[in-house]
């Protein structure tokens, strides 16, 4: 028994046409018309696989096939199909469509699952439009924050307005959708988005855990003036202050971070953004993450010190807003063990590795045990139209996903369930 490679390949290729940019790029921003088109297409594929479907008020697409024992906690599979504005064809989609393929292959092979299976395409995993991601998964897990629907994109559209345009009626009172104990396990396949598997010459990896990210928005405010008349010693230049802060942050992470520490400034807004006006206000984002919380905390504190000292040195006001904070979360040992057993049967010899990027699985870990499978991607490139994964590698990853899902939905998950312990954060590293 195996998956249908050609069907999966066709689905990946067809989905890549929606929001296509250039030859290989994709732009499907959350809640956009392209996002809705993609959801409708995948919804049809879910129904072909025998799943009953719905789109909830948060924009999540959910497919469900009832198990023989409806009282058992369900197995959930999935990922996301939204993209970055300058994204690739495989980020999220390999896992989302791989999950659909798992259920379709079960149907083809005449398998009736013992427990109910749900396949989910989470809405707005990427977070680039409203500067706060993993919206759909946080909604079903009961982790939304106050004002989530009032966040605005760069065009001033609120998430509430975007969701209504998408075609759903958002209702935060519907969160959480699931409680601890409702879900036996959550499985997510994803391209690695890093170079480790390629370096090891392995097509597939078994994930041990996910680093915890902090997202900050930093605002520095000075005073605008004529670029030709204000002396250098009298300026309150917010852009110079931001530049120095960013440079020192980069040096801090490189010199004092661990092997798993990464720090990034990926977005900046300058006001009034004119070549002959001294910048009065600059807003930029900070992404700091590590699997080691203590190491991350030390760097975070030093970053705050850098911002304060720079603001004083350039006579600037500053504000730091926290957008996201998550602790590292570890995959459940029992799921990893099943994966290793099935991996051996498939002859993959897959290594175990950490995930630096965060995924929907990170937030599912607060209500369910979870496991992840990585698929090798060329040169580790992601969030870029050059992102590429070989179909042979995707097929091997989805075969492992299929084998793992089959084990869990046919009863292997039962003895591991502990409704009092929905957290996987303290499991084996």
305 and 236, same domain (yes or no): yes
367 and 391, same domain (yes or no): yes
In a domain, 247, yes or no: yes
Give the torsion sign (CA, 163, 167, 170, 176): negative
267 and 333, same domain (yes or no): no
In tens digits, the chain (429 residues) has pLDDT values of: 689 999 999 999 999 999 999 999 999 999 999 999 999 999 999 999 999 999 999 999 999 999 999 999 999 999 999 999 999 999 999 999 999 999 999 999 999 999 999 999 999 999 999 989 999 999 999 999 999 999 999 999 999 999 999 999 999 999 999 999 999 999 999 999 999 999 999 999 999 999 988 999 999 999 999 999 999 999 999 999 999 999 999 999 999 999 889 999 999 999 999 999 999 999 999 999 998 899 999 999 999 999 999 999 999 999 999 998 888 899 999 999 999 999 999 999 999 999 988 899 999 999 999 999 999 999 999 999 999 999 999 999 999 999 999 999 987 766 565 544 433 333 333
Residue 428 pLDDT: 35
Residue 426 pLDDT: 32
218 and 206, same domain (yes or no): no
85 and 197, same domain (yes or no): yes
Residue 211 is given by DSSP the state P
88 and 116, same domain (yes or no): yes
- Closest listed residue to residue 100, CA positions, set 197, 165, 3: 3
Residue 213 pLDDT: 87
In this structure, the number of other CB atoms found within 10 A of the CB of residue 228 comes to: 6
In a domain, 268, yes or no: yes
In a domain, 422, yes or no: no
In a domain, 428, yes or no: no
| Distance between CA atoms of residues 75 and 67, nearest Å | 10
234 and 365, same domain (yes or no): no
- Long-range contacts formed by 145-154: CB under 8 A, 24+ apart: 148/172, 153/129
In a domain, 299, yes or no: yes
Report the domain count for the chain.
2
Residue 412 pLDDT: 73
In a domain, 425, yes or no: no
369 and 278, same domain (yes or no): no
b or e along 278-293 (b: 16 or more beta carbons within 10 Å of the residue's beta carbon)? Answer: bbbbbbbbbbbbbbbe
Measure CA 210 to chain center: 11
Residue 259 pLDDT: 86
φ/ψ of 189, rounded to 5, equals -100, 140
pTM: 0.81
261 and 348, same domain (yes or no): no
229 and 146, same domain (yes or no): no
Q: What is the CATH number of the domain that holds 67?
A: 3.40.630.10
Residue 411 pLDDT: 74
- Closest listed residue to residue 35, CA positions, set 43, 27, 47: 27
- Pick the last residue of a domain from 325, 352, 367: 325
DSSP 214-242: EEEEEEEE-B--BTTTS-GGG-B-HHHHH
Q: What is the CATH number of the domain that holds 219?
A: 3.30.70.360
154 and 66, same domain (yes or no): yes
Residue 73 pLDDT: 97
**What is residue 159's three-state secondary structure?**
helix
Tokens of 304: 């705050």
In a domain, 407, yes or no: yes
- Pick the last residue of a domain from 325, 352, 368: 325
| Distance between CA atoms of residues 112 and 214, nearest Å | 42
In a domain, 426, yes or no: no
268 and 143, same domain (yes or no): no
- Pick the last residue of a domain from 278, 305, 325: 325
Q: Peptide bond preceding 94: is omega within 30 degrees of 0, i.e. cis?
A: no
- Rg of the chain over CA atoms, in angstroms? 23
Q: Peptide bond preceding 307: is omega within 30 degrees of 0, i.e. cis?
A: no
Instruction: Give the domain extent around 125.
Output: 5-211+328-416
């Amino acid at each position: 028994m195996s998956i249908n490679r050609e069907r999966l390949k066709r689905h990946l290729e067809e989905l890549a046409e929606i929001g296509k940019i250039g030859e290989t790029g994709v732009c499907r921003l959350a809640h956009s018309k392209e996002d809705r088109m993609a959801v409708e297409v995948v919804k049809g594929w879910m129904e072909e696989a025998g799943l009953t479907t719905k789109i909830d008020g948060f924009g999540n697409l959910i497919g469900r096939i009832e198990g023989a024992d409806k009282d058992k906690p369900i197995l959930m599979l999935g990922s996301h199909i939204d993209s970055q504005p300058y994204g690739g064809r495989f980020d999220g989609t390999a896992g989302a469509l791989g999950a659909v393929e798992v259920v379709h292959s079960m149907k083809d092979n005449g398998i009736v699952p013992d427990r109910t299976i749900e396949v989910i395409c989470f809405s707005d995993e990427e977070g680039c439009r409203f500067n706060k991601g993993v919206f759909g998964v946080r909604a079903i897990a009961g982790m939304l924050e106050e004002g989530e629907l009032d966040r605005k994109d760069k065009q001033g559209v609120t998430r509430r307005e975007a969701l209504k345009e998408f075609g759903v009626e958002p209702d935060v009172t519907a969160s959480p959708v699931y409680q601890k104990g409702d879900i036996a396990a959550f499985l997510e396949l994803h391209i690695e988005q890093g170079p480790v598997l390629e370096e090891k010459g392995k097509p597939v990896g078994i994930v041990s855990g996910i680093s915890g990210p902090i997202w900050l928005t930093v605002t520095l405010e000075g005073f605008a003036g004529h670029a030709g008349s204000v002396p250098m010693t009298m300026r309150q230049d917010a852009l110079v202050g931001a530049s120095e802060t960013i440079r020192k942050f980069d040096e801090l992470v490189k010199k004092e971070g661990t092997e798993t520490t990464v720090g990034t400034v990926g977005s900046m807004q300058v006001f009034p953004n004119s070549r002959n006006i001294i910048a009065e206000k600059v807003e930029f984002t900070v992404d700091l993450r590590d699997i080691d919380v203590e190491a991350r905390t030390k760097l975070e504190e030093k970053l705050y010190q850098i911002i304060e000292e720079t603001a004083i040195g350039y006579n600037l006001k500053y504000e730091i807003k926290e957008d996201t904070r998550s602790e590292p979360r570890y995959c459940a040992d029992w799921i990893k063990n099943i994966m290793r057993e099935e991996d051996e049967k498939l002859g993959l010899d897959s290594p175990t590795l950490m995930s630096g990027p965060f995924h929907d699985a990170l937030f599912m870990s607060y209500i369910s045990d979870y496991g992840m499978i990585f698929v090798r991607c060329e040169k580790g490139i992601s969030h870029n139209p050059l992102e590429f994964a070989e179909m042979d590698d995707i097929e091997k990853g989805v075969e492992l996903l299929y084998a793992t899902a089959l084990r869990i939905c046919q009863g292997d998950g039962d003895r591991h369930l502990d409704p009092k312990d929905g957290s996987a954060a303290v499991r084996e590293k």
